[in-house]
Amino acid sequence: MDFKRSIQDCCKRERISQEMFCQRLGCTMSELRYAGNWSRIAHGAWVAFGAKLEGYEPRSSREERAWAEQLLPWIRRFPVKALQKRGLLPHGTCGAGSVRDVLRFMGVGGREGFDKTYAFTLDSVAPQVYAAWIRIGETLASADAAKSKSTFAVDKDLLARNLKTLTRNSGVGLRSAIAKALRDSGIGYIEVEPFIAAPYPTCASFWIGDAPFIQASTSRINDSVLLESICRTAWHIAAHPRRRSSFLVAPCNAPASPTQNTQDAEAQKFAGDLLLPEADECRLICCGRFEEDRCIRYFSRTLRVRPGILVERLQQQGKLPRRTLLNDFKVAV
């Protein structure tokens, strides 16, 4: 078996494309062609997947120790103890062993692979924590993706109609309704408990092969905030089906790039129009008595919109203060 054939077998076993294989190892497709890169690639495949590619030779203990010491400060930013508590990492390892354990769990060959695979988390306040949270969802989603043989093709109109049903004043069972609406649109839905090491994320999207998934946090959150985040994330999946781009809704510590700002502005407009169209928003604001709870109830019945959505929109427009008794209309789900 030659080196390239062993890569193909690894990709088949892990159910990933060669492009994703390179992304997780932090290399390029062109680097696979040159024998001078094979040793580094083989080591990355062993770390990420436990795969012994053709010609793989273990590094000396000295080389391995130097490699681990360089990564250890970065590795310590992962929620290692929380992952061990959940049984996702072994206890008692240290040094090079702990570095390999974390990278194996994340499915990356090193920091370069992490930066390429989870680039959408790098602007957040805790990239390693959020990436680990998403990795749990990826692991859970892999089984569902393996069962599905269909090719993903989202119908944007169908997605919009299904998401629109979530804005109605149904009262209970919102998370179950979200799961059904997304799955009816061809998008998988998973909920994962967040880590306490960072401010809770709201949701994220990722791809397993050709199958898109949206992952939501199990932490309690206002219905209007959850719905807006789900709609924004769904837009990113529907708008870029070939790019296989991922998206994260979580606190950030750096401003987004101009391209990201433009894309997220479009996503927010999509979410805003679904939750409360501009015409309905004007009707609500023109009422002029929206600070009264009876006004919120009236428009909730008339527009068939959850009252928490109305309160959140008025607060976003500066018509209501953030601290108001009308926040009681926001249902924690």
254: exposed, middle or buried (Cβ count in 10 Å: 0-12, 13-18, 19+): exposed
The pTM for the full model equals 0.88
Q: Is the dihedral of CA 178, 184, 188, 190 positive or negative?
A: positive
Percent composition of the chain: helix, strand, coil (DSSP 3-state, to 5):
60, 10, 35
> Helices 307-316 and 278-287 sit at what angle, rounded to 10 degrees?
80
For the chain, give the number of residues: 333
Reading the chain (333 residues) residue by residue, the pLDDT tens digits are 588 899 999 998 888 889 999 999 999 999 988 888 889 999 999 999 999 998 788 888 899 899 999 999 999 999 999 999 999 999 877 767 899 999 999 999 999 999 999 999 998 999 999 999 999 999 999 877 655 555 556 788 899 999 988 887 555 688 999 999 999 999 999 999 999 878 889 999 998 878 899 999 999 888 889 999 999 999 988 887 666 678 888 777 656 656 566 777 888 888 888 888 888 888 888 887 778 888 888 888 888 888 888 998 888 888 888 888 888 888 777
